[in-house]
A and B are shown apart, each in its own frame.
Chain A
Amino acid sequence: KAGVTQTPRYLIKTRGQQVTLSCSPISGHRSVSWYQQTPGQGLQFLFEYFSETQRNKGNFPGRFSGRQFSNSRSEMNVSTLELGDSALYLCASRRGTGGFSEQYFGPGTRLTVT
């Protein structure tokens, strides 16, 4: 079974620009979550989507948004980039259809804002 894939793997943007990151979950997984990882901060939860609906949201400004498509693929958008947005952005998928299911992570997109 193919794992979670994320594109692109690396990205360099300048302040003020916007960026879109993409995530394809494991086949059959309907839940996709996004996390931001910065040194010393662990994984900060951004949001979770299930069946094209945002089910949960972390404490990030409105510049961070996401969506999920009918095939469960998800995109994350960050507008008006700031230097502090430089981080590894991780996507995770899970079945999410009831009961507990662990998350499986993609390799991440390394975003550098200059």
Chain B
Amino acid sequence: DQQVKQNSPSLSVQEGRISILNCDYTNSMFDYFLWYKKYPAEGPTFLISISSIKDKNEDGRFTVFLNKSAKHLSLHIVPSQPGDSAVYFCAASYGQNFVFGPGTRLSVLP
């Protein structure tokens, strides 16, 4: 049973437009949520996180929104750039546990 789901395996967006990546979770124990970006032949790199006591966290072009009642979070990238093309993993944590979603491949078209 997947506790963290990313239902879109891939997403294509035009350069300059907004990219919205979605993530759903099932375990209400999760209290910290993160997004990682992964390029081919590299390990995932930490992008942005949000605590369950917040509903929004912003860092430059990246904003993460958390809807606890819906057990849903999303990552917004504005404006999208070709260098943002990568696989994005959503992760959720409680205690010492980290659970990753299957990832969404984002392609930003020039």
Contacts and interface: CB of A to CB of B under 8 A. Distances in A.
Nearest to A107: B43
A41 B43 contact: no
Contact of A104 (B41, B46, B51, B101): B46
Given A42-B89, A102-B49, A90 B101 contact: no
Given A100-B32, A102-B34, A42 B43 contact: no
A6 B43 CA distance: 10
Interface string B75-108: 0000000000000010001001111111100000
Contacts of A103: 46, 98
B72 to A, nearest CB: 18
A105 B43 contact: yes
Interface residues of B, number: 24
A11 B6 CA distance: 30
A56 B43 contact: no
Interface in B2-26: 6, 9
A108 B99 contact: no
Nearest to A100: B32
A35 B99 CA distance: 10
B46 A102 contact: yes
Given A33-B98, A108-B43, 6 more contacts: A6-B43, A40-B102, A42-B100, A43-B44, A100-B31, A105-B44
6 contacts: A4-B43, A43-B100, A90-B43, A92-B43, A96-B96, A103-B98
